[in-house]
């Protein structure tokens, strides 16, 4: 069943588009701004470090999301984000770079809040057989905007300076808040208050209590962690393998983004037909094949590989999100989402750091093959027979809600 048939979800998707446009336009531009102010690649790279650090507070964000109205939290968080971004107007030179770092950290933390609350809102709005369609649409919006919004952000920065992109991002966040405030939803009751530690770890405990979800989450963590190597290996592939300048990364990203858009558009159909775990497993194998093909030093092959990888990444994440939401009680959606954020983003950051070390001493082709082997191996536990997850529909049946 198509999620767009739910009017309230259409509004939520519009709000998602506004906020994601602001996100995508802002992130890359902040790194460019720091590079221009300092002349340092390392200083520019710290933008992404400060963007990732809030993952350490993701469990707290999930706890907050499950304690009250998620719609209200998304509205307030977007408005707070708009105010935080506008403080970039105080940046006037190299000595003010710390302001950019602080804004990046706070904005990243706000993103974890809206992610946790948004997962609960989607679950409250959609029936089980609408989740794949809804997650596929949100993924398509996200990936599609990533092809366009960075160009808008960098263009605004080039023409009008850093504060211009701050205004663009702020206006998008305000628009997202306004639209979210109009979403009509009967929200699930908030979680009951518990002692701090049991409450904040409830998401992890739920994942462990559902064998299928636990196994898939571990496999996803390993697969996503190993792809962290790609953040550095890709530049060795472009330089040593293709003999191109680093600007070619934009072409690679465009092909990967195009594949991801197609993946988002088609994910719901394959998930409905074959089930979440089958799509995740097949996606991992196909993604591994795409990565392995990239060792061929040919522009056409590498671009085709990027398209396949982008396509499969969308299938994998839409299927995983659908499985997670479907087997998680409403009052735990925020904390389970937060636990998954930690489980995936932590290993990916570690993989990126490891890749920066290994690429200097190991042939990039060996690293690519290694990534492909590990990701293909992760498909085995995902596809292995297991007791059905709570509410899991046997393959080939249709559920009516």
Contacts of 120 (CB under 8 A, 6+ apart): 65, 66, 70, 187, 188, 330, 333, 334, 337
Q: Are residues 151 and 204 in the same domain?
A: no
Residue 73 confidence (pLDDT): 96
Q: Are 20 and 143 in contact (CB under 8 A)?
A: no
Q: Are residues 179 and 214 in the same domain?
A: no
Kindly state whether residue 65 falls inside one of the protein's structural domains: yes
Residue 394 confidence (pLDDT): 42
3-state secondary structure of 155: helix
Q: Are residues 128 and 4 in the same domain?
A: yes
- 148 vs 346: CA distance, rounded Å: 28
Residue 382 confidence (pLDDT): 95
Reported in sequence order, the residue ranges of 134-268 that DSSP labels E, i.e. its strands, are: none
pLDDT per residue, tens digit, the chain (401 aa), is 688 899 999 999 999 999 988 888 887 788 888 888 988 766 877 887 788 888 889 999 999 999 889 999 999 999 999 999 999 999 988 899 999 999 999 999 999 999 999 999 999 999 999 999 999 999 999 888 877 777 787 788 888 888 888 898 999 999 999 999 999 999 988 877 778 888 899 999 999 999 999 999 999 999 999 998 887 788 788 888 888 876 677 688 889 889 999 999 999 999 999 999 999 999 999 999 999 999 998 999 999 999 999 999 999 999 999 999 999 999 999 999 999 999 998 888 888 778 878 888 889 999 999 999 999 999 999 998 755 555 554 443 333 22
Residue 263 belongs to what H/E stretch?
helix 248-274
Q: Are residues 217 and 176 in the same domain?
A: no
Dig out the tokens for 32 from the structure. 């460019």
Q: Are residues 158 and 224 in the same domain?
A: no
Number of domains making up the chain: 2
Dig out the tokens for 220 from the structure. 């996803």
Domain hosting 212: range is: 199-385
Q: Report the predicted TM-score, pTM, of the whole model to 2 decimal places.
A: 0.85
Give the other-Cβ count within 10 Å of 208's Cβ. Answer: 13
3-state secondary structure of 400: coil
Residue 367 confidence (pLDDT): 93
* Planar angle of CA 315, 318, 320, nearest 5 degrees: 100
Kindly state whether residue 189 falls inside one of the protein's structural domains: no
Q: What is the CATH number of the domain that holds 51?
A: 1.20.1250.20
Long-range contacts of 387-392 (CB under 8 A, 24+ apart): 387/211, 387/212, 388/212, 389/210, 389/211, 389/212, 389/213, 389/323, 389/326, 389/327, 390/210, 390/327, 391/128, 391/326, 391/327, 392/212, 392/275, 392/326, 392/327
Kindly state whether residue 251 falls inside one of the protein's structural domains: yes
Q: Are residues 7 and 150 in the same domain?
A: yes
Q: Are 267 and 300 in contact (CB under 8 A)?
A: no
Kindly state whether residue 363 falls inside one of the protein's structural domains: yes
Residue 149 confidence (pLDDT): 77
- 78 vs 172: CA distance, rounded Å: 9
- 5 vs 1: CA distance, rounded Å: 8
Name residue, tokens 């995508």: 24
The widest CA-to-CA distance across the chain, in whole angstroms, is 62
Q: Are residues 133 and 209 in the same domain?
A: no
Kindly state whether residue 64 falls inside one of the protein's structural domains: yes
Give me the DSSP letters along 167-195: HHHHHHHHHHHHHHHT----PPPPPPP--
Residue 105 confidence (pLDDT): 94
Residue 356 belongs to what H/E stretch?
helix 333-358
- 388 vs 382: CA distance, rounded Å: 12
Q: Are residues 229 and 145 in the same domain?
A: no
Q: Are residues 138 and 217 in the same domain?
A: no
Q: Are 336 and 207 in contact (CB under 8 A)?
A: yes
- 102 vs 100: CA distance, rounded Å: 6
Q: Are residues 129 and 9 in the same domain?
A: yes
Please tell me the total number of residues recorded for the chain in this structure: 401
Name residue, tokens 């293709």: 242
Give the other-Cβ count within 10 Å of 283's Cβ. Answer: 27
Helix and strand totals (H; E) in the chain? 16, 0
């Amino acid at each position: 069943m198509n999620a767009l048939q739910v009017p309230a979800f259409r509004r939520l998707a519009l709000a998602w588009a506004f906020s994601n446009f602001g996100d995508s336009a802002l992130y890359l531009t902040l790194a460019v701004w720091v590079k221009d102010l300092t002349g340092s690649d390392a200083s520019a790279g710290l933008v992404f470090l400060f963007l990732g650090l809030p993952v350490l507070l993701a469990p707290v964000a999930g706890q907050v999301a499950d304690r009250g109205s998620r719609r209200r939290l998304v509205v307030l968080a977007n408005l707070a984000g708009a105010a935080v971004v506008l403080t970039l107007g105080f940046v006037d030179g190299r000595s003010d770079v710390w302001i950019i770092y602080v804004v990046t950290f706070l904005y990243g933390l706000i993103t974890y809040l809206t992610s946790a609350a948004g997962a609960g809102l989607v679950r409250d709005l959609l029936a089980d057989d609408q989740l794949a369609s809804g997650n596929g649409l949100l993924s398509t919006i996200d990936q599609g905007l990533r092809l366009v919004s960075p160009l808008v952000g960098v263009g605004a920065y080039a023409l009008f300076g850093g504060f211009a992109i701050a205004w663009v991002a702020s206006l998008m966040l305000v628009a997202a808040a306004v639209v979210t405030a109009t979403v009509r939803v009967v929200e699930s009751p908030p979680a009951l208050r518990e002692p701090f530690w049991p409450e904040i770890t409830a998401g992890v405990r739920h994942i462990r209590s559902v064998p299928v979800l636990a196994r898939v989450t571990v496999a996803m963590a390993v697969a996503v962690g190993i792809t962290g190597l790609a953040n550095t290996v890709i530049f060795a592939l472009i330089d040593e393998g293709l003999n191109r300048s680093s600007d070619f990364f934009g072409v690679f990203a465009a092909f990967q983004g195009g594949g991801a858009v197609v993946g988002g558009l088609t994910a719901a159909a394959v998930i409905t037909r074959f089930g979440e775990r089958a799509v995740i497993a097949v996606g991992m194998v196909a993604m591994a094949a795409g990565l392995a093909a990239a060792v061929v030093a040919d522009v056409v092959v590498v671009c085709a590989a990027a398209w396949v990888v982008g396509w499969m990444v969308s299938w994998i994440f839409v299927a995983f999100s659908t499985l997670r939401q479907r087997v998680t009680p409403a009052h735990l959606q925020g904390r389970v989402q937060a636990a998954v954020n930690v489980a995936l983003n932590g290993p990916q950051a570690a993989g990126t750091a490891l890749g920066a070390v290994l690429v200097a001493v190991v042939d990039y082709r060996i690293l690519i093959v290694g990534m492909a082997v590990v990701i293909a191996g992760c498909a085995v536990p995902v596809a292995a027979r297991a007791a059905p997850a709570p509410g899991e529909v046997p393959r080939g049946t249709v559920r009516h809600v």
